[in-house]
């Protein structure tokens, strides 16, 4: 019959015409896989005006700061040989009270002024200068985003930071400048307010999130910004800790999402589930594997921003050196590589904790603690031993 024949012949063409377009990258066909080149095109064409970046420890390793979870090189992995009940104990409130030396040694090593921002940090600043940065959400406590002069109103430090401190007992706030001299001398900082005198639990703790503590209020009050994001950049994070890792799902369904990381993370377990889908037709997700700084440089090359980024970083470093003075960063420190600096941080924190006894086995509790981390967010600590308060404590 003519009618039946006509219908059969038109069916394949109709199916082809109904293929879903790529709403995140309109210039691509539904079967094309988007790359950084396509991301650069969106920015050049003015279709990405509200960029949110989500950053993890991978953007700071190039500065010499160890990340926490990387096998072999991460802080937790390398602290296993020292006398801690488990490596993550370095950020546990109970252990802080019992043996605060380990944390305050880490605080001294990571304190603002000891490290310079990386290329990735200055890329965020460049986005701000071009009026494109809608938010800078970081898991890092090192304040390197602030050091580039990104506006406070754009930064959300999901795990807190060293930018301020609070007494763990009376809750008196302190500035980082007030406690810096004591921390840089390697001393445990105790509050000297009247209700706190003589109390072991009256420690002046930098406002970084320990296990069991709530996230900063800003994390929740600014979460709505993701609903108006039109380009999400995720750099240097394992996306293994919630609720930070859930933020990638808060952008609109048409918003391109870009992962720049050493390894692929955050992928959906099955089609249609939450998570990145890099391979499906009409994908909005882009994956670039490698060091964060290299990925940023490649994107800037595609945008024609490479020289601007280099100048911004050079000028920023000069300003930091002038502000801090060369006494803060001695020449020998300046010449050290990032890996050497990371090893020294781990070694000094480990020395404060003490070596394990030769017969003592390394605990495998870290997996259990990582599960806790995903539930409460942050980083952690716990252990036993007493402290010589006269020699190791400073009161403010």
pLDDT of amino acid 144: 97
Which of 370-385 are b and which e, b meaning 16 or more Cβ less than 10 Å from the residue's Cβ? beebeebbbbbbbbee
pLDDT of amino acid 10: 41
Q: Which contiguous run of DSSP H or E holds residue 93?
A: helix 93-98
Instruction: Determine which one of 159, 224, 225, 249 is catalytic.
Output: 159
User: In this structure, are strands 51-55 and 231-235 parallel, antiparallel, or unpaired?
Assistant: parallel
Residue (of 69, 181, 98) closest to 389 by Cα position? 98
| Unique residue bearing structure tokens 């007992």 | 169
For residue 285, is it within any domain?
Answer: yes
pLDDT in tens, 127-146: 999 999 999 999 999 999 99
Binding residue numbers for NAD(+) = 57-61, 67-69, 139-142, 237-238, 261-263
Total structural domains within the chain: 1
List all residues 6 or more positions away from 341 whose beta carbon is below 8 Å from its beta carbon.
63, 64, 65, 115, 333
Q: In CATH, what number is assigned to the domain containing residue 214?
A: 3.40.50.1220
SS3 content of the chain, % helix, strand, coil (to 5): 45, 15, 40
pLDDT in tens, 194-227: 999 989 889 999 999 998 899 999 999 999 999 9
For residue 273, is it within any domain?
Answer: no
Q: CB of 118 within 8 A of CB of 106?
A: no
In a 13 Å sphere around the CA of 180, the CA atoms on its Cβ side amount to 14
Neighbours of 171 (CB within 10 A): 9
Task: Tell me how far apart the alpha carbons of residues 126 and 132 are, in angstroms, rounded to a whole number.
Answer: 9
For residue 141, is it within any domain?
Answer: yes
Binding residue numbers = 57-61, 67-69, 139-142, 167, 170, 191, 196, 237-238, 261-263
Which ranges of the chain have pLDDT less than 70? Answer: 1-20, 68-84, 86-87, 272, 325-396
| Unique residue bearing structure tokens 């000297």 | 192
For residue 231, is it within any domain?
Answer: yes
Neighbours of 206 (CB within 10 A): 24
pLDDT of amino acid 164: 94
| Unique residue bearing structure tokens 């006494």 | 327
User: What are the CA-CA distances from residue 109 to residues 22, 101, 141 (Å)?
Assistant: 47, 12, 12
pLDDT of amino acid 87: 62
Q: CB of 83 within 8 A of CB of 158?
A: no
Q: Sheet of 173-175: strands edge to edge?
A: 173-175, 160-167, 204-208
Residue (of 292, 253, 247) closest to 266 by Cα position? 247
pLDDT of amino acid 339: 61
pLDDT of amino acid 328: 42
Residue 81, SS3 per DSSP: helix
For residue 82, is it within any domain?
Answer: yes
For residue 342, is it within any domain?
Answer: yes
Task: Tell me how far apart the alpha carbons of residues 360 and 130 are, in angstroms, rounded to a whole number.
Answer: 55
DSSP state of 21: P
Domain that holds residue 59: 38-265+280-395
Binding residue numbers for Zn(2+) = 167, 170, 191, 196
For residue 16, is it within any domain?
Answer: no
For residue 161, is it within any domain?
Answer: yes
Peptide bond into 243 cis (omega under 30): yes
> Is 169 noted as a catalytic residue in this protein?
no
């Amino acid at each position: 019959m003519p009618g039946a024949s006509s219908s059969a012949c038109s069916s394949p063409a109709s199916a082809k015409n109904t293929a879903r377009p790529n709403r995140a990258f309109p210039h691509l066909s539904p079967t094309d896989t988007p790359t950084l080149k396509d991301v650069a095109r969106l920015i050049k064409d003015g279709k990405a005006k509200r960029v949110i970046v989500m950053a993890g420890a991978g953007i700071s390793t190039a500065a010499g700061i160890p990340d926490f979870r990387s096998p072999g090189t991460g802080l937790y992995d390398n602290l296993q040989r020292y006398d801690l009940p488990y490596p993550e104990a370095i950020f546990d409130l109970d252990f802080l009270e019992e043996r605060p030396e380990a944390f305050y040694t880490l605080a001294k090593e990571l304190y603002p002024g000891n490290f310079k921002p990386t290329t990735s940090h200055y890329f965020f600043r460049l986005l701000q200068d071009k009026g494109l940065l809608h938010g800078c959400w970081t898991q890092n406590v090192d304040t390197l985003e602030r050091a580039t002069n990104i506006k406070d109103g754009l930064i959300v430090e999901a795990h807190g930071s060293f930018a301020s401190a609070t007494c763990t007992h009376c809750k008196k706030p302190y500035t980082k400048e007030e406690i810096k001299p004591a921390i840089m001398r390697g001393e445990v900082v105790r509050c000297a307010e009247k209700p706190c005198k003589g109390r072991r639990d009256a420690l002046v703790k930098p406002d970084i999130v320990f296990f069991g503590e709530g996230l900063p209020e800003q994390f929740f009050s600014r979460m709505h910004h993701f609903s108006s994001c039109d380009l999400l950049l995720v750099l240097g994070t394992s996306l293994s800790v919630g609720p930070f890792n859930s933020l990638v799902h808060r952008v609109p369904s048409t918003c391109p999402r870009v992962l720049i990381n050493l390894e692929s993370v955050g992928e959906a377990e099955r089609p249609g589930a939450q998570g990145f889908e890099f391979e499906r037709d009409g994908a909005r997700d882009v994956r670039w594997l490698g060091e964060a700084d290299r990925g940023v440089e490649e994107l800037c090359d595609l945008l024609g921003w490479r020289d601007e980024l280099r100048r911004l970083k050079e000028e920023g470093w000069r300003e930091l050196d002038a502000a801090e003075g060369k006494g803060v960063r001695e020449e020998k420190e300046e010449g050290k590589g990032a890996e050497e600096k990371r090893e020294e941080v781990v070694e000094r924190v480990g020395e404060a904790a003490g070596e394990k006894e030769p017969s003592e086995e390394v605990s495998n509790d870290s997996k259990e603690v990582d599960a806790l981390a995903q539930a409460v967010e942050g980083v952690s600590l716990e252990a036993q031993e007493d402290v010589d308060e006269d020699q190791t404590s400073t009161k403010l």
